[in-house]
A and B are shown apart, each in its own frame.
Chain A
């Protein structure tokens, strides 16, 4: 427990102070790592805790990004209105897709979520009248929160906005996984039949988890669209679903710290390594291979083993 709080303090301080020491480029990379950490944590609720490997989080990420993009460019610049609309659309879509996806488990679940997300991607790509197809919706400015006296135009200030939402996500998800609801999810993951025999409505538990995960993926999407100032079909593309999955496996599933570690490893590495070599994908591939060969519980597993080791 003490090591955990120590680790949190160090991580928290590091995240808070980082922009003071870094230029806008590095701060931008950390901002993207935070956005992906939100996405990966949302997926971990499904994949790590509930045992549902969704390869379709891009559906909610992309939908809320498009809703915010469309609202901003066509209707209103009000952050809170757009924010609310983005989150609601993600939650509603998750509520709809959850009905279809939760008819299956394991690999088939993964496949249905992927297929549904690809349908969203296809809508974004082909619905030119609304989404402008592959051109995307450009020119989405940084948000204006209204009651705050400063703008979010600079790299550092936007970083803090994302950091604030990241902390909110971490706290909320932490509470959820520690609640009786979260414990029930873990029980369902380990043995759904037994949980059902004990009187739990397992489907409803999973369904609610699915909607929560979708909503937080939507939150990440909103942060992403404000960061990039453009939303394209790539925001609903398969890589947006696959990357957080890699982050969870690499960091260590069934813990909120694991996905965060994974995100803070993969996002900066894939950018910084590509500065040094055009063949950065080889380096990323080798990292995946080596970590899985020597630490298949993920990086968090290694840290835990170190912490538990005497001395």
Chain B
């Protein structure tokens, strides 16, 4: 029983990381049909910027704010100078261009910080572990679960309950119509894209104390983000939520119960899920 609780908590903390990582990717791809492979770079670069800020200020909150702001700006710039030029049918040129951005960002990070591993610490109040009965669990992961839950509630309200969310969804469905109704779609899309990048930077700083930072993390993160979005189903908040939880729980419990399948977790389930539900767990046939 103890193990069940611990493993579920492990899975939840992993799901939090996946949720923060994939949120921006899901919104911009699902709603705006912008395929941004460089999304993982916002996560990656944000984490390094957060680490530098933390090293200088010893203030985790400041690190979160600084990394989010920088990545938000980077997102705005990526959209304004690169992605806005493409129509939604031009998925392949978008993909190749953003892979170019990813390569450049990846190598700039290696140039600046080297390929070595860093494992930044979390905020002081979330350092160490708590012991409850026979259970020992790191405080930082509880903090991560709490932040993940909070961010998902905020996003849910933002996307489904506010005027902004309604505008985004309407514009995603029919940009011309929205424009006709007086919505400045250009700024709306740019704003949403910036928000997605900001979330990725925010997630990168939060994930760093668990995942560590090293050359190549960006590619691993990209694969995970894509998997979460596709498994959950493209284009909805619920898909994102279900996708993060499903991937995290399947991965955790497969490794626990069937360690011989450790090499196959994530992709074997993904292949099976998609073969039987080609539009993802929560997706609708388009």
Contact = CB atoms under 8 A, between A and B. Distances in A.
B278 A112 contact: yes
B85 A250 contact: no
User: DSSP majority for the B interface?
Assistant: helix
Contacts of A279: 107, 111
Interface of B: 82, 85-86, 90-97, 99-104, 106-108, 111, 223, 226-227, 230, 234, 260, 262-264, 266-268, 270-271, 274-275, 278-280
B102 to A, nearest CB: 7
B271 A249 contact: no
A125 B280 CA distance: 27
Contacts of A281: 103-104, 106-107
Given A107-B230, A125-B263, A293 B223 contact: no
Contacts of A249: 92-93, 95-96
B263 to A, nearest CB: 4
Contact of A246 (B99, B107, B267, B275): B99
A79 interface: no
A201 interface: no
Interface in A68-118: 100, 103-104, 107-108, 111-112, 114-116, 118
B278 A107 contact: no
B278 A282 contact: no
Nearest to A105: B278
B267 A118 contact: yes
Interface residues of A, number: 35
User: DSSP majority for the A interface?
Assistant: helix
Given A104-B274, A111-B270, A293-B82, A250 B96 contact: yes
Contact of B100 (A104, A108, A238, A287): A287
B25 to A, nearest CB: 12
A-B pairs with lowest CB-CB distance, top 4: A288-B100, A285-B103, A104-B278, A118-B267
Q: Which residue of A112, A126, A292 has the most chain B CB atoms within 10 A of its CB atom?
A: A292
Interface of A: 53, 100, 103-104, 107-108, 111-112, 114-116, 118-119, 122-123, 125-126, 238, 246, 249-250, 253, 279, 281-282, 284-289, 291-293, 296
B274 A108 contact: yes
Contact of B226 (A111, A246, A284, A288): A111
15 contacts: A108-B274, A111-B226, A111-B227, A111-B274, A114-B267, A115-B267, A115-B268, A115-B274, A119-B271, A249-B95, A282-B104, A285-B103, A288-B97, A291-B96, A296-B93
A125 B263 CA distance: 8
Contacts of A250: 96
B269 to A, nearest CB: 9
Contacts of B271: 100, 112, 115-116, 119
Contact of B278 (A108, A125, A246, A253): A108
A138 B270 CA distance: 32
Contacts of A246: 96, 99
Given A125-B263, A279-B107, A296-B90, A112 B275 contact: yes
A285 B107 contact: yes
A160 to B, nearest CB: 32
B69 to A, nearest CB: 24
Contacts of B227: 111, 115
Contacts of B104: 281-282, 285-286, 289
B270 A288 contact: no
B82 A289 contact: yes
Nearest to B283: A108
Nearest to A111: B230
Given A108-B280, A125-B263, A292-B100, A103 B107 contact: no
Nearest to B29: A107
B172 to A, nearest CB: 16
